[in-house]
Structure 1
């Protein structure tokens, strides 16, 4: 991820615009984007602040407010609810639109995983996978007769 421009550069751009340069001329002079210099100047005029904003993903999720509801769905006796069903229940009962990825990230953030067991035991008398032949061998090739 790219870093924010330095506060020194931001200050010099604002001072140049205040001295009479246009945002385009200031952008050209300091080798930055035109929209960047305009955004910095607008932010400085409205709030007087030149500090860069926080970059990256937000620390909070929109599902944090519904934590007890979601965890109650999972903690039932029948723990066989899918992420898609959780998304549907959130939309129907809470009016919250969320994607599967958002719900998955909600559980991953809390370290909650649920893996279903295999339905049958592995067979101990026979191999459970197909072994490939060595590279270049004809053991795995299928021959098709030409018509």
Structure 2
């Protein structure tokens, strides 16, 4: 993963552009990619700051606010499938695209279970 440009280098690029250089000329002068310089100047225009945005971080699970609903669905019907949970969520206005999203949330909530199979009689 790349690291953000130093604040000093960011200020130099901005100063060069403000003195009349094109963004691409400033990028070449300070040996950064034209894309980095263009994004820096766009950020300056939009936010007024040259500070880099946060890198990485953790996104909260989409279904975290709906844990109580998930728990009640699983407890109400034993052996409910992920597709059935997805359909039930959709009827309540909660759209989940991937079944893995539901699976991971159930796992996080420690609600995973194996379906019981009916044993075939021995012949």
Q: What TM-score comes out, normalization by structure 2 length?
A: 0.73
Q: Deviations over 1:9-51 (max 9, x none)?
A: 2222222211221111122222323232112112112222222
Aligned residue pairs: how many?
119
Other-structure match for 2:6: 6
- 1:88-108 alpha-carbon deviations (Å, 9 max, x no partner): 222222242431232233234
Which position in structure 2 is the counterpart of 1:113? 112
Residue segments in structure 2 that go unaligned for 5+ positions in a row: none
Name which one, 1 or 2, has greater alpha-carbon Rg: 1
Show structure 1 runs of 4+ deviating over 6 A.
Answer: none
TM-score by length of 1: 0.63
Partner residue of 1:26? 26
Relative contact order, CA 8 A, sep 6+: which one is greater?
A: 2
Rate the CA distance shift 1:108–1:19 in 2: closer, same or farther, 3 A.
Answer: farther
**Unaligned ranges ≥5, structure 1:** 121-147
CA RMSD of aligned residues (A): 2.6
Q: Does 1:52 align with 2:48?
A: no
Instruction: Name the one with the larger helix percent.
Output: 2
Residue of structure 2 equivalent to 1:38: 38
